[in-house]
């Protein structure tokens, strides 16, 4: 059994069995029994940490109605969907890792939200959260993903970049192109809930796999705890370095615990393929380059992702994925493809046209300032990316961005020539 412990299906079954067993024992608080088993394999598993916390069945002494959060001032997806009945139904459940509803919703309770920007207000602590708390997460997913119904629909995954056409933009308008997504390692808890050991295991598994990348993907890893000042400065200059999260949306969900332990950045020598480890997700994968060759960016993205997947599978690991929700990530807003494909594009005339927002809406695109979400545009340069994440494949979403950005550039050119533009008909959301 020890030799085959990396075989996923047996590993998972064994782990699940041990988790249930250890939960039964520790709920009887019979630590004595555990110590009798000495140094055996079973004892090793049985001594694995329990994540008991406020709200776990061990200690609930108040009825659900006394624990139900006051969400009257709140405006987020969790608050819109968490009725007292759903709370009562779910508040005593835990995932096999011990993650609870109270933990999952804490970020939404602590961050009432903004009248204009509706945040999700809830996170997953592990893959099982999406099943155990489905009564709350399914309606949130449906609301956030514009009607995608996880109860009846299936999410398509397609990383065949050869299907993209017209993916090269006019470099006079498009300054840079970028595609990002996230991937989670099955069997390890997600950033809101992981222990230090699990987080370090994520780092080890991913860094190990990345060391196997070759050719234009050859690169190296910079651990946040060990990088030199010089390396740090270079990463800042390259705009690669990520900081300890300060947003309370993330800190209230526990994602910044133990910073900077087991966090780091990997990038290839060409600086066109970058991976963040243990920030808001196990991994964030980014392909980028200056200019408008989105096709090449997406080619590299798909190739790199598939290669990383192959390398972790060789070692007995796999990504969290299912056909209902696609790739499983910490925030429900990133389910499905987890993909944001975008460009920095100069649209000084179009952006002043009152029809700009409507055009974007109909093309199923969103705009941000070039500093990222919630920043203002500078010099007429916008970050334009896909609106959707779930219910369409990677190829479909990138093609949407390609078609949409080409259209926007056409509009800009027409306005430059003094010609009028047309608002395009809304494109179909679920194909």
Residue ranges for the known binding site are 176-180, 239, 284, 340-344, 368-373
Selected binder of another protein within 45, 240, 242, 407 (CB under 8 A): 45
Q: Are 134 and 94 in contact (CB under 8 A)?
A: no
Nearer CB in complex with another protein: 8/31: 31
Nearest approach, Cβ of 61 to another protein (angstroms)? 7
Selected binder of another protein within 10, 13, 62, 269 (CB under 8 A): 62
Nearer CB in complex with another protein: 109/405: 109
Nearer CB in complex with another protein: 58/175: 58
Establish if 93 lies at the interface with another protein (CB under 8 A).
no
Establish if 197 lies at the interface with another protein (CB under 8 A).
yes
List the beta bridge partners of residue 276.
265, 284
The Cβ of residue 122 has, within 10 Å, a number of other Cβ atoms equal to 27
Nearer CB in complex with another protein: 119/399: 119
Tell me how many residues contact another protein (CB under 8 A): 48
Q: How far apart are CA 191 and CA 123, in angstroms?
A: 10
Establish if 17 lies at the interface with another protein (CB under 8 A).
no
The Cβ of residue 430 has, within 10 Å, a number of other Cβ atoms equal to 15
Establish if 201 lies at the interface with another protein (CB under 8 A).
yes
Residues between 218 and 247 with contacts to another protein, criterion CB under 8 A: 225
**Bridge-based pairing state of the strands 283-290 and 273-277:** antiparallel
Which of the ranges 159-167, 192-200, 385-393, 408-416 carries the binding residues for another protein, by CB under 8 A? 192-200
Q: Are 147 and 429 in contact (CB under 8 A)?
A: yes
Nearer CB in complex with another protein: 200/271: 200
Establish if 69 lies at the interface with another protein (CB under 8 A).
yes
Selected binder of another protein within 235, 249, 255, 256 (CB under 8 A): 256
Q: Are 38 and 17 in contact (CB under 8 A)?
A: no
Per-residue contact string for residues 151-190; x = within reach of another protein by CB under 8 A? ----------------------------------------
Residues between 266 and 305 with contacts to another protein, criterion CB under 8 A: none
Residue among 33, 35, 5, 29 nearest 17 (CA): 5
Establish if 56 lies at the interface with another protein (CB under 8 A).
yes
Nearest approach, Cβ of 183 to another protein (angstroms)? 20
Nearer CB in complex with another protein: 52/175: 52
Nearest approach, Cβ of 56 to another protein (angstroms)? 6
Per-residue contact string for residues 103-132; x = within reach of another protein by CB under 8 A? ---x--xx----------------------
Selected binder of another protein within 118, 200, 367, 414 (CB under 8 A): 200
Establish if 42 lies at the interface with another protein (CB under 8 A).
no
Which of the ranges 55-63, 174-182, 345-353, 390-398 carries the binding residues for another protein, by CB under 8 A? 55-63
Selected binder of another protein within 149, 158, 261, 289 (CB under 8 A): 261
Residue ranges for the known binding site for ATP are 176-180, 239, 284, 340-344, 368-373
Interface ranges with another protein (CB under 8 A): 2, 5-6, 29, 31, 34, 41, 44-45, 47-50, 52-56, 58-63, 66-70, 73, 102, 106, 109-110, 195-197, 200-201, 204, 225, 251-252, 256-259, 261
């Amino acid at each position: 059994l020890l030799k085959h412990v990396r075989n996923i299906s047996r590993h998972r079954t064994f782990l699940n069995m041990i988790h249930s067993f250890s939960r039964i024992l520790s709920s009887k608080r019979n630590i004595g029994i555990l110590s009798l088993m000495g140094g055996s394999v079973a004892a090793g598993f049985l001594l694995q940490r329990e994540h008991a916390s406020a709200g776990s069945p061990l200690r609930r002494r108040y009825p659900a109605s006394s624990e139900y959060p006051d969400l009257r001032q709140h405006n987020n997806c969790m608050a819109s969907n968490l009725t007292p009945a759903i709370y009562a139904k779910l508040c005593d459940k835990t995932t096999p890792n011990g993650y609870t509803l109270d933990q999952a919703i804490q970020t939404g309770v602590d961050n009432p939200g903004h009248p204009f920007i509706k945040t999700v207000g809830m996170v997953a602590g592990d893959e099982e959260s999406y099943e155990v708390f489905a009564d709350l997460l399914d309606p949130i997913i449906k609301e956030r993903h514009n009607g995608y119904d996880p109860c009846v629909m299936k999410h398509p995954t397609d990383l065949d970049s050869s299907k993209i056409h017209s993916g090269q933009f006019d470099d006079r308008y498009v300054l840079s192109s970028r595609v990002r997504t996230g991937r989670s390692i099955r069997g390890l808890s997600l950033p809101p809930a992981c222990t230090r050991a699990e987080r370090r295991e994520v780092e080890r598994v991913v860094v190990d796999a990345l060391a196997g990348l070759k050719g234009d993907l050859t690169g190296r890893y910079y651990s946040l705890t060990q990088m030199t000042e010089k390396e740090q400065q270079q990463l800042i200059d390259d705009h690669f370095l990520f900081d300890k999260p300060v947003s309370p949306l993330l800190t209230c969900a526990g994602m910044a615990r133990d910073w900077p332990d087991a966090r780091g950045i990997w990038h290839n020598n060409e600086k066109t393929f970058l991976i963040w480890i243990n920030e808001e997700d196990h991994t964030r994968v980014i392909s980028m380059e200056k200019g408008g060759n989105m096709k090449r960016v997406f080619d590299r993205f798909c190739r790199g992702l598939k290669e990383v997947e192959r390398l972790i599978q060789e070692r007995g690991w796999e990504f969290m994925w299912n056909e209902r929700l696609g790739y499983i990530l910490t925030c429900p807003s990133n389910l499905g493809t987890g993909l944001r494909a975008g460009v920095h594009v100069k649209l000084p005339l179009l952006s002043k046209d009152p029809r700009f927002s409507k055009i974007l809406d109909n093309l199923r695109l969103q705009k941000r300032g070039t500093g990222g979400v919630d920043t203002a545009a500078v010099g007429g340069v916008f970050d334009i990316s896909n609106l959707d994440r779930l219910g369409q494949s990677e190829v479909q979403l990138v093609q949407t961005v390609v078609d949409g950005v080409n259209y926007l550039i056409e509009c800009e050119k027409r306005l430059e020539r003094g010609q009028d533009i047309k608002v395009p008909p809304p494109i179909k959301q679920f194909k």
